[in-house]
């Protein structure tokens, strides 16, 4: 239904992006971008979702304030420092917006502001202010690159997260692109990361907000890496209307196509985040079917992919399905254990390991072969209804502890 293309956040008409190294974090490598700027040629309808952590970083509050009117022109973001729980955090978040406005000829309220990195250390705002003219020069020189911006927001990520798709809406070709970062401190509660989405679709702020909130619930909110919800989580979508389609202002067929396009894009980014969990070697997809309703299915699937014991078993390629049904049991979701069937699957095949809540004889060697693949599916049928849900996580490896044991120092 949708065509995947190149270009990320620069794929949609009228959007440019760039990234540079400015030295936000002391001692950072000069070849690691840490400052990104995304800019539209026209004013955009804008919508955002944010962390549910009670402790929110200053950029989250500034962005929420800037998007109260439902419009924006661009995004300024840095890695290397979260600008959270530190002196001058609010003032420095505002200063980032002011600096972005100064180099683009816009107003400070026109910008989404995002930061990611270490919590509790005052951000090097001077480095950002000195770096933004360099980013603006790249935009003006036509050196716009979604890739550079995507890499600028990476922290412990080992791979950039970037997707672009096209679809027909109202007889016009509409393009949507997104970049995201997320590897650790990832747990379902909003967007669990930073994510910036651009589209040239003509759509109202109200319809954009409804679509984003619906999609985030079924994509980014279904990812968990380590059970920790960040202080900085932000997901923002900007729509500048340059595709020329008839304005989407009602929940009609065009709206449903737009929502489906957004769902596809966010699903791809969510999977990339789960696969790149800190220290991860395997992407785990848990699919629950036959539940009493979708909410029940989601709660069961989240409990399974969030279980440290399940994650450790997947790292060891151990078909320990008892850990799966145990996680289901403490999820507080209603189900009948004696009805549950569990299968493990991957590109190497699939195998039934539990039927009607009890053990079945299976080939351990075949199971191990299945579980040594890079993507594993835990397929659960509760056999009670029509509810289904899919959630994503990763295995728990020795490297997760290594990465987080000295993250600050």
CA atoms of 195 and 180, how far apart (whole Å): 4
Domain boundary among 209, 242, 275: 275
pTM of the predicted protein model: 0.89
Dig out the tokens for 73 from the structure: 């022109």
Is residue 29 domain-shared with residue 70, that is, in the same domain?
A: yes
93 with 115: CB under 8 angstroms?
Answer: yes
Length of the chain: 409
For 167: left if phi > 0, alpha if psi spans -120 to 50, otherwise beta; the answer is beta
Is residue 74 domain-shared with residue 127, that is, in the same domain?
A: yes
Domain boundary among 218, 243, 275: 275
Is residue 333 domain-shared with residue 248, that is, in the same domain?
A: no
Is residue 220 domain-shared with residue 96, that is, in the same domain?
A: yes
Instruction: Give the number of domains in the chain.
Output: 2
Give catalytic residues, as residue numbers.
192
Strand pairing partners for 166? Answer: 3, 175
Is residue 76 domain-shared with residue 206, that is, in the same domain?
A: yes
pLDDT at position 227 is 55
CA atoms of 265 and 78, how far apart (whole Å): 23
Is residue 246 domain-shared with residue 333, that is, in the same domain?
A: no
Q: Which of 9, 60, 3 is nearest to 234 (CA)?
A: 60
pLDDT at position 87 is 95
Domain with residue 107: its CATH number is 3.60.70.12
Render each residue's pLDDT in the chain as its tens digit; 409 residues.
799 999 999 999 999 999 999 999 988 888 899 999 999 999 999 999 998 788 889 999 999 999 999 999 999 999 999 999 999 999 999 999 999 999 999 999 999 999 998 889 999 999 999 999 999 999 887 766 899 999 999 987 878 899 999 999 999 999 999 999 876 444 544 334 799 999 999 999 999 999 999 999 999 888 876 555 567 788 999 999 999 999 999 999 999 999 999 999 999 998 888 877 666 788 999 999 999 999 999 999 999 999 999 999 999 999 999 999 999 999 999 999 999 999 999 999 999 999 999 999 999 999 999 999 999 999 999 999 999 999 998 888 777 677 666 655 5
Dig out the tokens for 182 from the structure: 């997320």
CA atoms of 268 and 247, how far apart (whole Å): 26
- The pair phi, psi for residue 299, each rounded to 5°, is -65, -40
Is residue 86 domain-shared with residue 142, that is, in the same domain?
A: yes
Place of tokens 């402790």: 55
Is residue 87 domain-shared with residue 183, that is, in the same domain?
A: yes
Domain boundary among 211, 245, 275: 275
What radius of gyration, in Å, describes the C-alpha atoms of the chain? 22
Cα first-last separation, the chain: 47
Is residue 29 domain-shared with residue 64, that is, in the same domain?
A: yes
Domain with residue 397: its CATH number is 3.10.20.340
pLDDT at position 193 is 76
Q: Which of 299, 322, 311, 279 is nearest to 393 (CA)?
A: 311
292 with 387: CB under 8 angstroms?
Answer: yes
Pairing of strands 161-169, 111-115: unpaired
Show the CA angle centred on residue 39, arms to residues 36 and 153, nearest 5°: 20
375 with 356: CB under 8 angstroms?
Answer: no
* Domain span at 329: 283-405
Is residue 81 domain-shared with residue 129, that is, in the same domain?
A: yes
Is residue 221 domain-shared with residue 343, that is, in the same domain?
A: no
């Amino acid at each position: 239904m949708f065509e995947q293309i190149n270009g990320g956040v620069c794929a949609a008409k009228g959007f440019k992006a760039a990234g540079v190294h400015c030295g936000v974090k002391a001692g950072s490598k000069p070849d690691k971008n840490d400052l990104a700027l995304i800019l539209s040629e026209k004013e955009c309808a804008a919508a955002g979702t944010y962390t549910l952590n009670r402790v929110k970083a200053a950029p989250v509050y500034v962005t929420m304030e800037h998007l109260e009117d439902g419009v924006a022109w661009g995004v300024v973001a840095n890695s290397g420092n979260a600008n959270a729980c530190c002196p001058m955090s609010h003032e420095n978040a505002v200063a980032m917006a002011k600096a972005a406005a100064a180099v683009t000829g816009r107003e400070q309220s026109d910008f989404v502001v995002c930061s990611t990195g270490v919590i509790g250390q005052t951000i090097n705002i001077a480095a950002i202010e000195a770096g933004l003219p360099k980013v603006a020069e790249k935009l003006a020189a036509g050196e716009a690159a979604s890739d550079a911006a995507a890499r600028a927001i990476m922290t412990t990520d080992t791979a950039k997260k970037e997707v672009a798709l096209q679809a027909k809406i109202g007889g016009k070709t509409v393009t949507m692109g997104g970049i995201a970062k997320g590897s650790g401190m990832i747990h379902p509660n909003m967007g669990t990361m930073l994510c910036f989405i651009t589209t040239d679709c003509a759509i109202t702020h109200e319809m954009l907000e409804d679509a984003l909130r619906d999609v985030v619930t079924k994509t980014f909110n279904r990812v968990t890496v380590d059970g920790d919800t960040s202080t900085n989580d932000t997901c923002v979508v900007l729509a500048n209307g340059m595709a020329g389609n008839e304005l989407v202002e009602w929940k009609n067929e065009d709206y449903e196509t737009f929502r489906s396009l957004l769902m596809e894009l966010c699903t791809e980014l969510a999977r990339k985040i789960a696969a790149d969990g800190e220290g991860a070697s395997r992407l785990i997809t848990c699919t629950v079917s036959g539940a009493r309703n979708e909410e029940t299915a989601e709660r069961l699937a989240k409990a399974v992919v969030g279980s440290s014991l399940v994650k450790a078993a997947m790292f060891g390629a151990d078909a320990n399905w008892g850990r799966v049904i145990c996680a289901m049991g403490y999820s507080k979701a209603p189900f009948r254990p004696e009805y549950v069937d569990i299968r493990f699957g991957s590109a190497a095949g699939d195998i039934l390991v539990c039927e009607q809540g009890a053990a079945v004889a299976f080939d351990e060697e075949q199971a191990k072969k299945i579980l040594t693949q890079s993507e594993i599916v835990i397929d659960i049928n509760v056999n009670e209804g029509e509810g289904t849900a899919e959630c994503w996580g990763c295995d728990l490896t020795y490297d997760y502890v290594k990465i987080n044991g000295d993250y600050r120092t």
